[in-house]
Amino acid sequence: MTDVAELPPAGRAAAPSLAEAADRIRRSAAYVVVPILALVGSGLIFSLFLLALGQSPAEFFGLLWRGGFGTAFSWQNTLVRAAPLIFTALCVAIPAQLGLVVIGGEGALVLGGLAAAVIALPIAASLPAPVVLAAMFVAAAVVGGAWIGLVGLLRHGRGVNETISSLLLYYIAISILNFVVEGPLRDPGSPNKPSTPSIGEQNMVGNIPGLDVHWGLPIGVLLCVLLYLLMSRTTFGFAARVTGGNVRAARGQGLPVGGLVVGACAIAGACAGLAGFFEVAAIQGKANASLIAGYGFSGILVSFLARHNPLAIPPVAILFGGIAAAGGLVQRRMGLPDATMMVLQGLIFVVLLASETLYGRRLPAWLGGGK
Amino acid sequence: MTTARLPSLAVSRRGVLRGAAAGALLGTTLLGAGRARAADLVIGIVYVGPRDDYGWNQAHAVAAQALKEIPGVTVVEEENVPETVAVSKTMESMIELDGAKLIFATSFGYYDPYMLDMAKKYPDIEFRHAAGLWTDAAPKNAGSYFCYLDQAHYVDGIAAGLSSKTGKLGFVAAKPIGTVLLNINSFTLGAKKANPNASVQVIFTGEWSMPVREAEAVNALVDAGCDVITCHVDSPKVVIETAERRGVMSCGHNANQAALAPKGFLTGAEYKWATIYKEFADILATGGELPNFVRGGYDKDYVQNTDYGAAASDIVRAACEQAKAELRAGKPIYVGPLKDNTGKEVIAAGTTHDAYDVWLETTGYLVEGVIGSTS
């Protein structure tokens, strides 16, 4: 990608040689080039699919651009949809550093949102809004963290497969939500849709000034940066990655594997719980079955596409937010069914996973590779 | 109308495509913002599920189809929109990118907070929601529309009561809430009018859409001797198909399911949203003001019964037609004395609750003749 000549001159004494630097850049460029190639490839395959349906790929991609990124409204639409995906993707990405595949983030989201509403209800009217919001924030993170932390605990203590247990715990989470909103905390004013009472307009998280996007997006991006630093620049992160690389070696080195597993899962659950917090505090104002919207499962896709790199999660989440945002326009203008967008997402996923084999190989010369 | 519906949906989808392509061209070349011509009325319809679900969403999609046939009306539709911020964005996108002036939000959970928020944000756009939720406190550019489907279930009940040989009818229901209980009660009252000894056995699945449990419920009802099955679930497809496979008769719900039961279908309770949608389009086309709250049943042509299936005999057809005529004339279904199925009197002798009586919306009991419990 970048030509050697464009590099700043190596000024420091210990600076690597130009050739080494170029090689490093080539290797890291692969992490940008390969996903882009995969996106283009899946777009081409999808075009064939559209042509088979007698539809125009040009019109489709034009609408995709317009509905997702083409106007100020489209951008806001995209960003609002991306916000929860950032949090739920983190719920997959952090345990993935330890080699754990946690797919039950939806459960932590649901319970985090429920916890936020439950803690807000008794204090919503009496305490100032910042206090209420802080309590909700903490409650959502703690409950979400405990939920996925439990997955880590089961994994470490009893050897229970974390993928299965997190998925099964999701069903339990939904039952808990349904029990609470249909029973003890049901709003009598909402007979046909069981729901908790509202936390009150004054306690809602507002939008970023001038935008129709709530604060969940910047906080999610900030969280991605913090967790990236945690995983790449701290001893916790290093130990976690060592554990992910080889558990026995980590144990042999005396690393606290159990604490790392449970801790990483708890951090992950806290992220998903915060997605629930923003759903309740920024959007719905109450907890009900609308929390079960599939953000937790879309987050799995986002995290895998971001190769579990927290810094790559926001752009991927925005890409998926854009696809979701444009889905409506495509349906309306081209008369295509809603499932079209699922086909596109599925294709991107499959092609990107298939492109994993390209890493470490030399790219063709025209893409900046080769020696 | 009955069997031609699905094909016609497909045919005019192509037509819509042509229209959409032309509209997009016009929008991008002339207006930049992609809005439709000012003379056109753009109506947006949002569905929570697929448009071809043989149920609630299809009933609205069929009406959307009828709207499209009106010259000067462009309909933009979006399906599978969850009850999250996604629906706000869908409505906003219809307004901002398609120039929609009227939005029909067809799922219960769209109303609060999503549709109300949008109504506040876009005071010049009309929003209407398919349930009786609007109150005076809500924005004036929002509103509710609803149909008394229980009247069509009453007609179903007459068909079922007359057709059943065992006198045992089966009802697969989602949740024991007001509207569902009202449909069960009206079905039962119709059945008992046709056959005073008829009984209706109810199984609640607990969920709006739970196909496996719905199929199990049908099997259990048929095993218990029921020879006519009907339901109130989001998509009756599985119920009707399972009944047909078990060789019993069936009555539909929400939309047209006749094609699913070529042998055993009697008739079905169907919404006729098209009447309301066309009324609204007419009002807006002539510059009038939309009402905030509309509701009605057979009297306003807001509900209908599916065209008779193969199992409906001439006697059944005649009895149903008579019942429909009476309902059109405003004859009430809920007339005292009426007992619930625990023996308690719910309507005293001499008391009548007509279709518009809000008392019916608070139904919390099952009438005498229903085997089942609300809790």
Per-residue pLDDT of chain A (371 residues; tens, 9 = 90+): 434 444 444 444 455 677 888 777 777 777 778 888 888 999 999 999 999 988 999 999 999 999 999 989 899 999 999 999 999 999 999 999 999 999 999 999 999 999 999 999 999 889 999 999 999 999 999 999 999 999 999 999 999 999 999 999 999 999 999 999 988 888 877 766 788 998 988 888 888 888 888 999 999 999 999 999 999 999 999 999 999 999 899 999 999 999 999 999 999 999 999 999 999 999 989 999 889 988 999 999 899 888 899 999 999 999 999 998 998 899 888 888 888 888 998 898 889 888 877 776 665 666 555 44
Name which of B34, B93, B131 is nearest A77 (Cβ-Cβ): B93
Contacts of B45 in chain A (CB under 8 A): none
Give the whole-angstrom CA distance, residue A93 versus residue A265. Answer: 10
Q: A293 vs B84: CB contact, 8 Å cut-off?
A: yes
Q: B81 vs A81: CB contact, 8 Å cut-off?
A: no
B216 and B365 share one domain = yes
- Given the structure tokens 């031609």, which residue do they identify? B4
Name which of B20, B81, B90 is nearest A333 (Cβ-Cβ): B20
Burial A282-308 (b: 16+ CB within 10 A, else e): bbbbbbbbbbbbebbbbbbbbbbbbbb
Name which of B21, B90, B108 is nearest A192 (Cβ-Cβ): B108
CB-based contact, B19 to chain A, within 8 Å: no
Give the whole-angstrom CA distance, residue A312 versus residue A300. Answer: 13
B49 and B114 share one domain = yes
Tell me, yes or no, whether B283 lies in a domain.
Answer: no
- Which residue of B lies nearest to A291 if distances are taken between CA atoms? B84
In eight-state DSSP terms, residue B227 is -
Residue A96 is predicted with a pLDDT of 95
Based on C-alpha coordinates, what's the Rg of chain A? 22
Residue A362 is predicted with a pLDDT of 62
Residue B39 is predicted with a pLDDT of 56
Name which of A193, A285, A331 is nearest B79 (Cβ-Cβ): A331
Q: Stretch B206-213: mean pLDDT, rounded?
A: 89
Is the distance from CB of A302 to CB of A320 less than 8 angstroms? yes
Q: A81 vs B85: CB contact, 8 Å cut-off?
A: yes
Tell me, yes or no, whether B253 lies in a domain.
Answer: yes
Residue B17 is predicted with a pLDDT of 43
Strand partners, B103: B44, B127
Q: Which two tokens stand for residue B43?
A: 């109506």
B105 and B155 share one domain = no
Q: Under DSSP, is residue A63 helix (H, G, I), strand (E, B) or coil?
A: helix
Q: B179 vs A192: CB contact, 8 Å cut-off?
A: yes
Q: At B2, is the pLDDT very low, low, confident or very high (cuts 50, 70, 90)?
A: very low
Give the whole-angstrom CA distance, residue A145 versus residue A158. Answer: 19
Residue B32 is predicted with a pLDDT of 38
Give the whole-angstrom CA distance, residue A13 versus residue B373. Answer: 84
For testing contact with chain B, the best of A290, A291, A298, A330 (most B CBs within 10 A) = A290
Which one-letter amino acid corresponds to residue A327?
A: G
Contacts of A335 in chain B (CB under 8 A): 13-14, 16-17, 20
Q: Is the peptide bond preceding residue A364 cis, with omega within 30 degrees of 0?
A: no
For testing contact with chain B, the best of A187, A280, A333 (most B CBs within 10 A) = A333
Give the whole-angstrom CA distance, residue A250 versus residue A308. Answer: 21
Tens of pLDDT, residues B131-171: 888 999 999 999 999 999 999 999 999 999 999 999 999 99
Q: A279 vs B84: CB contact, 8 Å cut-off?
A: yes
Tell me, yes or no, whether B299 lies in a domain.
Answer: no
- Given the structure tokens 């993928």, which residue do they identify? A163
Q: B21 vs A59: CB contact, 8 Å cut-off?
A: yes
Tell me, yes or no, whether B281 lies in a domain.
Answer: no
Give the whole-angstrom CA distance, residue A148 versus residue A101. Answer: 12
Contacts of A330 in chain B (CB under 8 A): none
Smallest Cα distance from A285 to chain B, Å:
8
Q: What share of chain B is helix, strand, coil (3-state, %, to 5)?
A: 45, 20, 35
pLDDT at B368 over 80: yes
B131 and B208 share one domain = no
Tell me, yes or no, whether B292 lies in a domain.
Answer: no
pLDDT at B9 over 70: no
Beta carbons within 10 angstroms of residue A365's beta carbon: 9
B366 and B242 share one domain = yes
- Given the structure tokens 């701290």, which residue do they identify? A234
CB-based contact, B214 to chain A, within 8 Å: no
Q: Report how many domains make up chain A.
A: 1
For testing contact with chain A, the best of B28, B84, B208 (most A CBs within 10 A) = B84
CB-based contact, B318 to chain A, within 8 Å: no
B63 and B119 share one domain = yes
Lowest mean pLDDT among A109-118, B92-101, B183-192: B92-101
Average pLDDT along chain B: 88
B219 and B322 share one domain = yes
Q: Report how many domains make up chain B.
A: 2
B223 and B358 share one domain = yes
- Which residue of B lies nearest to A193 if distances are taken between CA atoms? B109
Name which of B14, B90, B178 is nearest A328 (Cβ-Cβ): B90
Residue A15 is predicted with a pLDDT of 56
pLDDT at B355 over 50: yes
Residue A361 is predicted with a pLDDT of 67
Residue A23 is predicted with a pLDDT of 78
- Which residue of B lies nearest to A214 if distances are taken between CA atoms? B85
- Which residue of A lies nearest to B52 if distances are taken between CA atoms? A337
Name which of B17, B81, B85 is nearest A334 (Cβ-Cβ): B17
- Interface residues of A toward B, Cβ cutoff 8 Å, are 59, 66-67, 71, 73-74, 77, 80-81, 191-193, 279, 283-285, 288-290, 293-294, 324-325, 328-329, 331-335, 337-338
Smallest Cα distance from A328 to chain B, Å:
6
Residue A319 is predicted with a pLDDT of 92
Residue B254 is predicted with a pLDDT of 95
Tens of pLDDT, residues A91-145: 999 999 999 999 999 999 999 999 999 999 999 889 999 999 999 999 999 999 9
Tell me, yes or no, whether A238 lies in a domain.
Answer: yes
Smallest Cα distance from A167 to chain B, Å:
20
Domain that holds residue B38: 5-147
Residue A367 is predicted with a pLDDT of 59
Final residue belonging to a domain, choices B100, B121, B147: B147
Tens of pLDDT, residues B324-341: 999 999 999 999 899 999
Q: Is the pTM of this model over 0.90?
A: no
Helices (H) and strands (E) in chain B, counts: 10, 17
Smallest Cα distance from A209 to chain B, Å:
16
Final residue belonging to a domain, choices B103, B126, B147: B147
Tens of pLDDT, residues B236-294: 999 999 999 999 999 999 999 999 999 999 999 999 999 999 999 999 888 889 999 99
Contacts of A289 in chain B (CB under 8 A): 83, 109
Q: Which two tokens stand for residue B359?
A: 């008392």
CB-based contact, B22 to chain A, within 8 Å: no
Residue A345 is predicted with a pLDDT of 87
Cβ contacts of A247-252, under 8 Å, gap ≥ 24: A247/A99
Task: Quote the longest CA-to-CA distance of chain B.
Answer: 70
Q: B81 vs A328: CB contact, 8 Å cut-off?
A: yes
Task: Say how many CB pairs under 8 Å bridge A and B.
Answer: 89
Lowest mean pLDDT among A181-190, A248-257, B311-320, B354-363: A181-190
Tell me, yes or no, whether B50 lies in a domain.
Answer: yes
Q: At B213, is the pLDDT very low, low, confident or very high (cuts 50, 70, 90)?
A: very high
Domain that holds residue A270: 78-311
Tell me, yes or no, whether A245 lies in a domain.
Answer: yes
Residue B28 is predicted with a pLDDT of 40
- Residue B272 makes CB contacts below 8 A (sequence gap 6+) with B63, B147, B301, B302, B303, B304
B208 and B248 share one domain = yes
Provide the sign of the torsion angle of the four alpha carbons B50, B276, B283, B134, taken in this order: negative
Tell me, yes or no, whether B92 lies in a domain.
Answer: yes
Does the ipTM surpass 0.85? no
Tell me, yes or no, whether A281 lies in a domain.
Answer: yes
B313 and B182 share one domain = yes
Tell me, yes or no, whether B279 lies in a domain.
Answer: no
B142 and B163 share one domain = no
User: Regarding beta strands B102-105 and B126-129, do their DSSP bridges make them parallel or antiparallel, or are they unpaired?
Assistant: parallel
- CATH number reported for the structural domain that contains residue B108 in this entry: 3.40.50.2300
B204 and B106 share one domain = no
Contacts of B77 in chain A (CB under 8 A): 331-332
Q: A329 vs B97: CB contact, 8 Å cut-off?
A: yes
Contacts of B82 in chain A (CB under 8 A): 290, 293-294
Smallest Cα distance from B186 to chain A, Å:
19
Residue B137, Cβ density class (10 Å: 0-12 exposed, 13-18 middle, ≥19 buried):
exposed
- Which residue of A lies nearest to B12 if distances are taken between CA atoms? A335
Final residue belonging to a domain, choices B147, B171, B197: B147
Is the distance from CB of A185 to CB of A196 less than 8 angstroms? yes
Beta carbons within 10 angstroms of residue B305's beta carbon: 26
Tell me, yes or no, whether A194 lies in a domain.
Answer: yes
Candidates A77, A104, A82, A113; CA nearest to A275 is A113
Residue A242 is predicted with a pLDDT of 92
Is the distance from CB of A329 to CB of B90 less than 8 angstroms? no
Q: How many CA atoms within 13 Å lie on the side-chain side of B206? A: 7
Tell me, yes or no, whether A34 lies in a domain.
Answer: no
